Chain A
Amino acid sequence: MAKKQASQICIVTVTGVDKVGIIARLANTMAQKNINIVDVNQKIMKEYFVMTMAIDMAAASIDMAKLKKQLDKIASEMSLKITVQDETIFKAMHRI
């Protein structure tokens, strides 16, 4: 049985011009790497697409550096800006 790990939540952010298939493409990548999507928030502001996706990396088959590379590839192919950061950074900065 695989070793159980506590969750490691990371936040993916996506910004760019809205087009068909952004979420599908991301979800597909996550599924392939055994990354669980915990939450998705998206907004369309004018034609702009703004999304945050909470993912759990605990059981992922790749590390953050490799995930980042994959996301960079999607970002350049779909003309988006994509970031991924461990959620503790947001908690540290925005919660006392």
Chain B
Amino acid sequence: MPISVEEVFETVKMTLDHHFDIRTVTLGVNLKDCMDRNVTRLCGRIKQRIIEKGKLLNRFADETENKYGIPITNRRISVTPVALLLEPLPQQKKAAVQIAKALDYAAKKADIDFVGGFGAMVQKGMTKADENLIDAIPEALSKTERVCGFLNLASTSAGMNVNAVVKIGKKLKELARLTKNGIGCAKIAVFANVPEDNPFMAGAHHGIGESDFALNIGISGPGVVRDVVVKNPDCDLTQLSEVIKRTVFKITRAGELIGREMAKLMNVEFGIVDISLASTTSAGDSVAEIVEAMGVKSMGLPGSTAAIALLMDAVKKGGAMASGNVGGLSGTFIPVSEDSGMIRAVRAGTLSLEKLEALTAVCSVGLDMFAVPGNTSADVLSAIIADELSIGIINNKTTSVRVIPVPGKKAGSIVHFGGLLGSAPVMKTPQITSSKFVRRKGRIPAPIQALRN
């Protein structure tokens, strides 16, 4: 059956009017074979590989974008967790910082906007190299522009490494002090159950179970989903789930096609399509506005959690039907600073940190891009992280935290980060510390997997 005029225009409208784009093509790059006892030699190999592959990635992304008329907004690279590369090196902070600088240099040379993977898997324990990497985070991320970091601090099978949670609380404070408005903290996400093939920054890395290269795609269509919800103002919720499913099917198919084509052009394996709805600050490209279009008066009010749960389930069903390669995070991002509806809800007082945490239990990848007062203590940050990661551990899902303690700012003020990162209202955060709890340290044991009521 030939494609009808209506079908053609449905696709065209998605990109022209509703911000449908391929949010990112992320090339996963194995660096394990670059390891050396000499950091300069290691960095030389890293630079060579990333510059070569990064340039190719940009070239083929431009070609594919022109062919299919769907914008490919970001071209990124994720690498083997850097803590692994540190293992054979002398355990000094400067080696970790040097690697971060090499990654940054290569990204600039290849015109790649972010390189992810400056991180470690420490859910159960930390090697000397892991500790070294975490110690280097403030300097590495403040002295580079394009390097992103991640830490996996917890998993359902290992429990939570509270020693590392306490350590990163302090490092986040340091990093915030070293960068304007604490923006360096936007470049690091900490996780429970981190996926090894996530294409989205800041948490992307090329996991140790991956092959030499993998081409991963992140699609994004909050505007498209919002449009179908707006066009169905009176249908019941079962029907609403159906129309969302159908729309997500279509955009996932576009992502799959483009991913496969890019992988073929680059002569690498096609990895996954991440079907996460990823908002931008553009008007209408907001997950909060989808919830509001469903009928919740403002994001964060009662009804929001149920609405997000329905939305996410429909997204997953539509996406899973469209592609056998759905992977990565495939949740819904609800970043406070990058979503105009979320910003509005925080300013209107309908969305609190506590409700945000509840929302992440049914959908998203976690507490993302939220600003807290600069005087929030490291222990409070660690306790917020511990709470959020517990949701991931117990529910067998990924959760993450990307928190920005903004130096000198108080709750209620607005911080402008600029560009893709948007602006964030500083959220009210309890200042009474739970130091005694987190400073007990140790490991929260892995949860029981039976008796699930």
Contacts and interface: CB of A to CB of B under 8 A. Distances in A.
A binds B: yes
Given A11-B3, A41-B5, A43-B5, A84 B250 contact: no
Contact of B68 (A13, A50, A85): A85
B253 A52 contact: no
A84 B15 CA distance: 12
B11 A93 contact: yes
A94 interface: yes
B70 A68 contact: no
A91 B4 CA distance: 10
B5 A92 contact: no
Most A CB contacts (10 A, CB to CB) among B9, B69, B257 go to: B69
Contact of A86 (B15, B68, B251): B68
Contacts of A81: 16
A87 B66 contact: no
A81 B7 CA distance: 17
A24 interface: no
Interface residues of A, number: 25
B12 interface: yes
Contacts of B436: none
A65 interface: yes
Q: How large is the interface on B (under 10, 10 to 19, 20 to 34, 35 or more residues)?
A: 20 to 34
B253 A92 contact: yes
Contacts of B450: none
Q: Which of A13, A15, A68 has the most CB of B within 10 A?
A: A13
Given A13-B12, A93-B250, A64 B66 contact: yes
B5 A83 contact: no
B253 A50 contact: no
B254 interface: yes
A67 B63 CA distance: 13
B1 interface: yes
Contact of A85 (B5, B7, B69, B250): B69
Interface of A: 11, 13, 15, 41, 43, 50, 52, 63-65, 68, 81, 83-95
Interface of B: 1, 3, 5, 7-12, 15-16, 62-63, 66-70, 250-251, 253-254, 256-257
The 6 tightest CB contacts between A and B, nearest first, are A85-B69, A93-B250, A92-B257, A92-B253, A94-B7, A90-B3
Given A52-B9, A81-B16, 6 more contacts: A11-B8, A83-B69, A89-B254, A92-B253, A92-B256, A93-B11
